[in-house]
Amino acid sequence: MNFRSPKTFLFAVVILLPVLIAASFPLQQSEGNFLRLKFGSKEYDVKYYNKRGSIYISLDDLVKKQGLKVDRTGGKYRIFFANRQISFVPNNPFVVIDTPKEKKKKSYQMPLSSQISGGELFVPVAYAKSFLSSAAETKLTYEFGAKPVAPPMEEKAEAPPVKTFPLSYRIDEKANGTLLRIFADKNIPDFESSLKDNNLRLKINPSGFSAGAPPKGKGMISSVSSSSFGSRGEIVISLAPDFTSYDIIRQSPKSILVTVYNKNLTESKTPSSKKEKWNFNTIVIDAGHGGKDYGAIGPNNTIEKNINLAVALKLGALMKSKMPDVKVVYTRSTDKFIELYKRGKIANENDGKLFLSIHCNSVANRSSAPNGYEIYLLRPGRTKEAIAIAEIENSVIKYEEDKDRYKNLTDENFILVSMAHSAYLRYSEKFAEILDRSFKQRVDVTSRGVKQAGFYVLVGASMPSVLIELGYVTNAKDASYMRSENGQRQYAESIFEAVKTYRKYYEEIIKQE
Ligand SMILES: [Zn+2]
């Protein structure tokens, strides 16, 4: 700018002066605007301000001068000390101290929230100092020595209200019992539980949560209610009179899973307690898919649900005529849609001694056209190929109204349920081995062997169980054999012969136990 005219010069001064003053102001004021901190062996000044009588110090300044490592990801402010870590959340009163070596994590609440000012995180020093001392395992003291910096611009009438997180609930009925998942948008700290007079009490500490809207009771859970969520929250879960046991696990940092078992699981856990209960008296035949769920579809009108049902009914008829002392239970005996969980439930309610789920295989890529039958056992830790098959068979879930029913089966609960199965695994393995031999002798389809996968339909059944893939609907030879009356009869006869052999083996074992 060239100030040739006095007018222009005056104009420039008027416009620029406030800017110049403002620019120099923080520089002048920041000299000496510090609070003296003694933190362990170090001593230094940190930036601070006074807001409504409370002193807030800059954590960014402290961390820099103390030489600490910070992680700012995930909206948190985590400071690393030798053995512990402390996390603050901007504009939030919560403090979490982690002790990784002891796997301990504790949440605390300050009476005032932290604040952001000038891009730095300020914490109320009167409250934060004890948490910082605890995390650092050393003493933190401070004294005033200079003027404070200006508090943040946005002035509120009162200190920001403490944010509370409502708890959410999800209740699901399974073949073995009822699941209650309690979750929040924030990590749920430690909890305690106790059972008295069929009331399961879950105490969640500390505050910071509201009770949300507990769900209506279902299955083994008669009702869910909550008492005051102040400094101490309590959820009361009333259990049905005929519940047998329960588990409470932390499913994730933000959710707790309560499993209440019905009598099906308890019976399954004590195989030798009542021998008469273990007579081979009931077989459950599960024709896969049905109704709106066609299963796999191959060329020449090869429809899986029809083949499954035809083989299931032929097997049932053979059982009834040649083994009349064994009750035959079908999960479906017509072309009807049945949800996966109901199939296991039907099996458990009928106290089945063997669960056979009948299916046909398929591949998306028809040019590879694999063929052959497969026999599947349920077991976690699966092969890649088995997972692919399981995905196809489990895709029936898309037809079900409540798709979330199986969502939690992928984690701990899956392991819980499949552990209940391990008691039967040797029986399932034995039956699979016998059936493989029987198929090899009698059916005109190649053996692809006995495999393992995580089928939901098997998860639900508390008894020895296998899933049979008769052959590939996408393979012309397999498909025409599976569609034929002769093929279906040979499958049914092979399975029946396997049941006969297995029954002898089973009754021998039961006698010995
Ligand atoms: Zn299927």
Ligand 1 center from residue 308 Cα (angstroms): 8
Ligand 1 center from residue 237 Cα (angstroms): 38
What sign has the CA pseudo-torsion 453, 458, 459, 465? negative
Ligand 1 center from residue 505 Cα (angstroms): 29
Ligand 1 center from residue 359 Cα (angstroms): 4
For the chain, the domains span 33-144, 165-261, 271-512
Ligand 1 center from residue 458 Cα (angstroms): 13
Residue 12 CA to residue 162 CA, distance in Å, equals 48
Residue 33 CA to residue 99 CA, distance in Å, equals 34
Whether 474 and 360 have beta carbons less than 8 Å apart is answered as: no
CATH architecture, range 165-261:
Sandwich (2.60)
Enumerate the H helices of 4-152 as residue ranges: 6-30, 59-66, 125-136
Name the CATH code of domain 33-144 (choices 1.10.10.10, 3.30.457.10, 1.50.10.10, 3.20.20.100): 3.30.457.10
Ligand 1 center from residue 467 Cα (angstroms): 9
Per-10-residue mean pLDDT of the chain, 513 residues long, equals 40 40 35 74 86 82 91 82 87 79 74 81 86 88 70 55 76 78 81 79 71 84 76 79 76 79 53 60 95 90 96 98 96 92 83 92 78 81 49 61 53 44 76 96 94 67 86 94 97 98 89 72
**Helix or strand (DSSP H, E) at 36:** strand 34-39
Ligand 1 center from residue 470 Cα (angstroms): 10
Name the CATH code of domain 271-512 (choices 2.60.40.420, 3.40.50.300, 3.40.630.40, 1.10.730.10): 3.40.630.40
Ligand 1 center from residue 289 Cα (angstroms): 6
Burial of 275 (0-12, 13-18, 19+ CB in 10 A): exposed
